[in-house]
Amino acid sequence: MIRWLLWLLAGALLGGTVHLVAVLILPRTATQDAYTRLTPVAPANMVVAVPQPSPQNEIMPFMDPAFATAVCRYDISERPIKLTAPVVAAYTSVSFYTRRGVAYYAINDRSAGRKVIELDLMTSEQRSQLPEDEDITAADRLIVESPTTTGLILLRTLAPEPGLMQIAHSALEQSSCRPLETQQPAPER
Amino acid sequence: MRLLLGSLFALAVAAVVGLGTTWLALSRGTAFGAVPIGAWTAWPKTGTRDIDPYARATIARSGELPLGSGDGIAFFAHADDAGRPLDGRCDVLVSGTTPQARFWTLTLYDPQGRLVGNSVDRQGFTSQEIVRHADGSFDIVIAPRARAGNWLPTNAVDSYVLVLRLYDSPVGVATRAAREVPMPALQVQSCP
């Protein structure tokens, strides 16, 4: 009897380990995460409108229907990208997610403090390779470091009333995300 | 022989316990750092880099993208202030004021996070659409049948989730208690 109880205890302890490992591994094996859902509609390094959520069709759960949404599915493994989003409507935000859907950075029109949200997205390695040039390190250049080489940028604009949804959508159409032009390597001396 | 039987038994227990608890934890939406205020609960850390492993696994499974903390914060309600579950056949009153925010939206979803279809094609309100009292407070009636004023239709679904999202708001990771944050009251009023 005691022997079986010991086996039960061993099983429960091992079960705890299985639980922890399963929780940690699950994000890597998920087949229905946001990135996978958006891949068919969003080519890499382009801003694409996300279909408005409706009861019949929703690309991701818990989307806010008061917002027009666009996405840039980025891949910065080769070079950084530049994101530009004009601020026209009531409220605009830009949120950055890793490949696994972790929101690592978000900014709204007010914290950006100007009429156009302009950001450069790069890995920390690419950032460390930036030439230390006065123009480039100017304070008005906003650089975001991505923890992963792929991920999602969500651009969202609020339509405070349903009638303003068209304006919100057209504001997003003017935004872009594209690879940065290759930087000339500093001449060697 | 006894050893073999014993270890098989232990392995079976481990599989059931491990996978069972994982499934339970993820389907119930376990996450650390919950900020419950009245009927509403937010998980401010889920919108940051400090997201815990359970919330990571939950979003990977559901496919949602949590609201980034620089954008806003989302409060979820599955039951009213007295703990009664939100039933689409009942009349539910949301009343009071919201915490400071530049904009807010209130949206009705089914428990899986899908919008609920209805005849007037309304799934929520924004802070600008709402009809308010003279003191700035508001009443929203969530009911299966049309009402005067701010009416949010339920289409008589069995259960639903309300999500109140505050955009550009000081409410966030540092928020601890209801004193700082006046959330609207949520009351189930009458059920058929």
User: CB B114 to CB A104 under 8 A?
Assistant: no
pLDDT at A29 over 60: yes
> Between B53, B105, B113, which is nearest A23 by CB?
B53
Q: What is the pLDDT of residue B86?
A: 93
Per-residue pLDDT of chain B (192 residues; tens, 9 = 90+): 788 888 898 899 898 988 888 888 887 766 778 888 889 999 988 989 989 999 999 899 889 999 998 899 999 999 999 999 999 999 999 999 998 899 999 999 999 999 999 888 899 999 999 999 999 899 999 999 988 889 999 989 999 999 999 999 888 777 766 566 889 999 998 887
More confident residue, A89 or B143: B143
Interface test with B, best of A9, A23, A152 (most B CBs within 10 A): A23
pLDDT at A135 over 60: no
Q: What is the pLDDT of residue B21?
A: 87
B53 contact residues in A (CB cutoff 8 A): 23-24
Band (pLDDT 50/70/90 cuts) for residue A27 is confident
Q: What is the pLDDT of residue A186?
A: 47
Q: What is the pLDDT of residue A139?
A: 56
B9 contact residues in A (CB cutoff 8 A): 4, 7-8, 11
Taking the complete model, does pTM exceed 0.90, yes or no? no
| Terminal-residue alpha carbon distance, chain B | 62
The residues near A126 (Cβ < 8 Å, ≥ 6 apart) are A76, A79, A80
CATH architecture of the domain with range B33-52+66-190: Sandwich (2.60)
Band (pLDDT 50/70/90 cuts) for residue A138 is low
User: CB B70 to CB A37 under 8 A?
Assistant: no
User: CB B14 to CB A7 under 8 A?
Assistant: no
Q: What is the pLDDT of residue B22?
A: 87
Q: Provide the number of CB pairs (under 8 Å) joining chain A to chain B.
A: 208
Q: CA-CA-CA-CA torsion for B32, A26, A80, B70, nearest 10 degrees?
A: -20
B63: left (phi over 0), alpha (psi -120 to 50) or beta: left
B104 contact residues in A (CB cutoff 8 A): none
Q: What is the pLDDT of residue A137?
A: 54
pLDDT at A188 over 50: no
Angstrom distance (rounded) from CA B75 to CA B3: 52
Asked if A84 and A153 count as a contact pair (C-beta separation under 8 A), the reply is no
Q: What is the DSSP string of chain A?
A: -HHHHHHHHHHHHHHHHHHHHHHHHHHHH-SSSHHHHHTTT--BTSEEEPPPP-SS--SSTT--TTEEEEEEEEE-SSS-EEEEEE--SS-EEEEEEETT--EEEEEEHHHHTSSEEEEEEE-HHHHHTS---TTTT-TT--EEE-SSSEEEEEEEEE-SSGGGHHHHHHHHHT-EEEEPPPPPPPPP-
The complex's ipTM works out to: 0.87
pLDDT at A40 over 70: yes
More confident residue, B70 or A89: B70
Q: What is the pLDDT of residue A80?
A: 92
Interface test with A, best of B43, B54, B126, B168 (most A CBs within 10 A): B126
Asked if A69 and A49 count as a contact pair (C-beta separation under 8 A), the reply is yes
Asked if B101 and B167 count as a contact pair (C-beta separation under 8 A), the reply is yes
Q: What is the pLDDT of residue B150?
A: 92
Q: What is the pLDDT of residue A69?
A: 94
Band (pLDDT 50/70/90 cuts) for residue A36 is very high
User: CB B109 to CB A61 under 8 A?
Assistant: yes
Angstrom distance (rounded) from CA A60 to CA A37: 7
Average pLDDT of the residues in A22-50: 90
Among residues A184, A83, A189, which one has the least CA distance to residue A129?
A: A184
By the 10 Å C-beta count (0-12 exposed, 13-18 middle, 19+ buried), A187 is classed as: exposed
Average pLDDT of the residues in A136-151: 79
User: CB A61 to CB B163 under 8 A?
Assistant: no
Angstrom distance (rounded) from CA A69 to CA B145: 31
